[in-house]
Amino acid sequence: DLGANVEGANEFFMFHGSKPSSVTNIVSNDFMVKLAGTRRGTLYGPGIYFAESSSKADEYADDDKSGIYRGLYAMLLCRVTLGKSLYVDEAFPDGKKLQDACVGSNATHHSVLGDREKTRGTYREFIIFDNNQVYPEYVIIYRRAEQE
């Protein structure tokens, strides 16, 4: 029963890459699951994606093309409550099936752990489908070092 209290909330600090203007909007107005996938893919379903590695989050970061953040990138360091995670190590998972496992009255899990480290040799991804499971704790604005 997902409504009952479970031992341990499975809460972690995780990174979420974006652009400065979007990060400002998230901090002011919260994450919006309905916007999931509008800028990037949704391999594990239309949720909010997080990484335990800032390098992975940087892959999703973008710079603002104008304004005070022109040329700067952003990410959030968030408190994310994963609850009971659904572990997935498939190269091409069924995103709809994963979303259904985490949303609605028949949900069996609270989040998805996509193990891209195992399947592709990259980074693990953590996905939630409820914005109440995340709190943006820190805003990180940065400039990428130029490659020589």
pLDDT digit string (tens) for 20-67?
999 999 999 988 877 666 566 689 989 999 999 999 999 989 898 999
Q: Which residue has the higher pLDDT, 102 or 146?
A: 102
N-term to C-term CA, the chain: 54
Q: What is the mean pLDDT of residues 3-13?
A: 71
Tell me the sheet residues that pair with 135: 79
* pLDDT at res. 9: 82
Confidence tier at 104 by pLDDT (50, 70, 90): confident
Average pLDDT, the chain: 89
Whether residue 106 contacts residue 81, with contact meaning beta carbons closer than 8 Å, is answered with no
* pLDDT at res. 1: 47
Q: How far apart are CA 23 and CA 61, in angstroms?
A: 10
Q: For the chain, give the percent of residues with pLDDT over 90.
A: 69
Confidence tier at 7 by pLDDT (50, 70, 90): low
Strand-pair category, 134-142 with 11-18 = unpaired
Q: Could you tell me which of 146, 120, 141 has the C-alpha nearest to residue 17?
A: 141
